[in-house]
Amino acid sequence: MFVLDNTGPVHRNLPVSTLVEKALVRGEGLLTRTGALRVATGKYTGRSPDDKFIVDTPAVHDRIWWGPNRPMPPDTYQRLFTRLAAYLQRRELFVFDGFVGADPAFRLPLRVINEFAWQNLFAHQLFLRPTPEELRGHRPALTVVAAPGFSATPAVDGTRSEAFIVLNLEERLVLIGGTHYAGEIKKSVFTVLNYLFPERGVTPMHCAANVGEKGDVAIFFGLSGTGKTTLSADPARRLIGDDEHGWSDRGIFNFEGGCYAKCIRLSREKEPQIWEAIRFGAVLENVVVDPETREVDYASEAITENTRAAYPVDFIPGAVTPGVGNHPRTVVFLTADAFGVLPPLARLTAAQAMYHFLSGYTSKLAGTERGITTPVATFSACFGAPFLPREPLVYARMLGERIERHGSRVFLVNTGWYGGPYGVGRRMDLDLTRMMIRATLAGELDNVPAEQDPFFGFLVPTACPGVPPEILSPRRAWADPRAYEEQARALARRFRENFAALKGVPTAVAAAGPVG
């Protein structure tokens, strides 16, 4: 068990109200008009994947996907650990003891140790909160230590910069320093679970999940900006979780007890459940706030486009507690295609589902990252490559087997552009996307005629209740068919180039990609 010596005062499992008070007294944030705690994370307003390391011990070496994962030698790790432990001596610390994994059969005790009260509040709201009885017998199986004030020295600590996220999978210990962005806490835990759960027969998934009145579960995969959190928070269905789940022989279960929603351009009209969830106890990262009125300007990107809200899942009305559900009836892959090529809705075969899961496509837009002036095709294996310690095929095979075993239907949904690329076409209206997804989940499209997409091969419904039919076909939505074909061929080529780098893919899956 991880132990720190010679610390200052240690506050264990403080209630939300006390954590908020501590954060305010310590000058860590301010209260907005709705009572949410607003904080700023400084230089790092998002994850820093290039600063993440896995300790390369003999016990884990042969199980790691070393392509995107950076190794850290054990002796280098030990030096960094010693320096971090020295930094924490005589410092006031905050401890959260809780769990990950809503299914009791797979639940893991978690401990998060924080330098800041607001980050401990974040952990309290994002992970599963214990009962008083559970606290008495709590023994962590995974520990996260987050000390943003400790900056690494690359020449001494073997890091790339002052920021570091180091996962010791053998000891089940995560060290975070040099960055205040709380998402590193959440995603480092997810990465550890992605390492542990496959050996327990659980398919870990970067997805949201909800359930209908008849117990029909749907899961939503998607990268940031594709609408995963927004579309899963549907007033007509009950939310199981917005980001991380496991699929076992028992069904699915949420890894967490909270939501971490991107809130740029959030509106009460479009996303009422998320809007109402941002109240006392919630944490807002890097939003712009009027210092006098304490009103939040959700439209402002003055600090970052990646503004975030963290809140307990039960702040969403009707959320499923505990976060468990049946085997999914429907699997949805979300993408935000800025090239205007992919249809807003398409049904995938089993092989196509594997292909698009391994591809994990969306597009980055101009202005979202330094140096990007035109839309860029982005591929992230399994819709979460930065969080995969194992080879993508490990997760893809597990998901494919479960989809086949339980007869789950798989759909691709484009929440991006139609009628032309970014700057020419239009962004798909959220209300129309909701109509398409609701029709899909209700089975209303099962017998609707479909056309085969000429470039990607999947089946595109020709009609959907409440949706103009010309929107459903990308070719017909474009004013210039020749321009559409050129753009479609270019995107298909990017898919093929990305997929060529994957090794060991079954022939049927490799053949299920673009055909044009």
Reply yes or no on domain 329-510 having CATH 3.90.228.20.
yes
* Alpha-carbon span 432 to 358, nearest angstrom: 27
- Please give the pLDDT value at position 371: 45
Residue 209 Cα to chain centre, angstroms: 12
Identify the DSSP state of 368. Answer: S
Largest Cα–Cα separation, the chain: 70
Calculate the alpha carbon distances from 59 to 168, 219, 296, 362, 389 in Å. Answer: 11, 33, 48, 35, 14
Q: Is the peptide bond before 322 cis (omega within 30 degrees of 0)?
A: yes
- Please give the pLDDT value at position 7: 85
CB half-sphere exposure, 514, CA atoms < 13 A: 19
* Alpha-carbon span 244 to 230, nearest angstrom: 15
Calculate the alpha carbon distances from 168 to 73, 120, 165 in Å. Answer: 11, 21, 10
294-330 burial string, b = 16+ CB within 10 Å, else e? Answer: eebebebeeebbbbbbbbbbbbbeebbeebbbebbbb
* Alpha-carbon span 345 to 515, nearest angstrom: 18
Judge residue 3's burial from the number of C-beta atoms within 10 Å of its C-beta, 0-12 exposed, 13-18 middle, 19 or more buried: exposed
Q: 334 phi and psi, to 5 degrees?
A: -95, 140
Question: How many degrees, rounded to 5, is the angle at CA 250 between CA 244 and CA 251?
Answer: 45
* Alpha-carbon span 253 to 321, nearest angstrom: 10
> Measuring CA to CA, which residue among 8, 194, 177 is closest to residue 83?
177
Q: Tell me the two tokens of residue 392.
A: 């993508």
Judge residue 24's burial from the number of C-beta atoms within 10 Å of its C-beta, 0-12 exposed, 13-18 middle, 19 or more buried: middle
Q: Tell me the two tokens of residue 295.
A: 């009103």
Which DSSP helix (H) or strand (E) runs through 458?
none
- For residue 385, the one-letter residue type is A
Please check whether the two domains, 10-28+43-200 and 262-315, share a CATH topology: no
Which residues lie closer than 8 Å to 20 by C-beta, 6 or more apart? 31, 37, 121, 280, 281
* Alpha-carbon span 386 to 206, nearest angstrom: 11
Judge residue 447's burial from the number of C-beta atoms within 10 Å of its C-beta, 0-12 exposed, 13-18 middle, 19 or more buried: exposed
* Alpha-carbon span 403 to 400, nearest angstrom: 5
* Alpha-carbon span 157 to 155, nearest angstrom: 6
Q: Ramachandran region of residue 225, left (φ > 0), alpha (ψ -120 to 50) or beta?
A: left
pTM over 0.85: yes
Reply yes or no on domain 10-28+43-200 having CATH 3.40.449.10.
yes
406-439 burial string, b = 16+ CB within 10 Å, else e? Answer: eebbbbbbbbbbbbbbbeebeebebebbbbbbbb
* Alpha-carbon span 177 to 86, nearest angstrom: 13
Q: Checking DSSP bridges between strand 30-31 and strand 426-427, what pairing results, if any?
A: unpaired
Q: Checking DSSP bridges between strand 283-285 and strand 308-312, what pairing results, if any?
A: antiparallel
Q: Mind listing the pLDDT tens digit of every residue in the chain (516 residues)?
A: 577 888 899 999 999 999 999 999 999 999 999 999 999 999 999 999 999 999 999 999 999 999 899 999 999 999 999 999 999 999 999 999 999 999 999 999 999 999 999 999 999 999 999 999 999 989 999 999 999 999 999 999 999 999 999 999 999 999 999 999 999 999 999 999 999 999 999 999 999 999 999 999 999 999 988 999 899 989 899 999 999 999 999 999 999 999 999 999 999 999 999 999 999 999 999 999 999 999 999 999 999 999 999 999 999 999 999 999 999 999 999 999 999 999 999 999 999 999 999 999 998 764 444 444 467 889 999 999 999 999 999 999 999 999 999 999 999 999 999 999 999 999 999 999 999 999 999 999 989 999 999 999 999 999 999 999 999 999 999 999 999 999 999 999 999 999 999 988 999 999 999 986
- Please give the pLDDT value at position 4: 80
Please give the CATH superfamily to which domain 262-315 belongs.
Answer: Phosphoenolpyruvate Carboxykinase, domain 2 (2.170.8.10)
* Alpha-carbon span 186 to 410, nearest angstrom: 28
The residues carrying an active-site annotation are 47, 187, 206, 224, 228-229, 243, 308
> Measuring CA to CA, which residue among 51, 57, 49, 7 is closest to residue 171?
57
* Alpha-carbon span 330 to 343, nearest angstrom: 18
Q: 317 phi and psi, to 5 degrees?
A: -55, 130
- Please give the pLDDT value at position 54: 98
Q: Spell out the domain ranges in the chain.
A: 10-28+43-200, 262-315, 329-510
- Please give the pLDDT value at position 367: 41
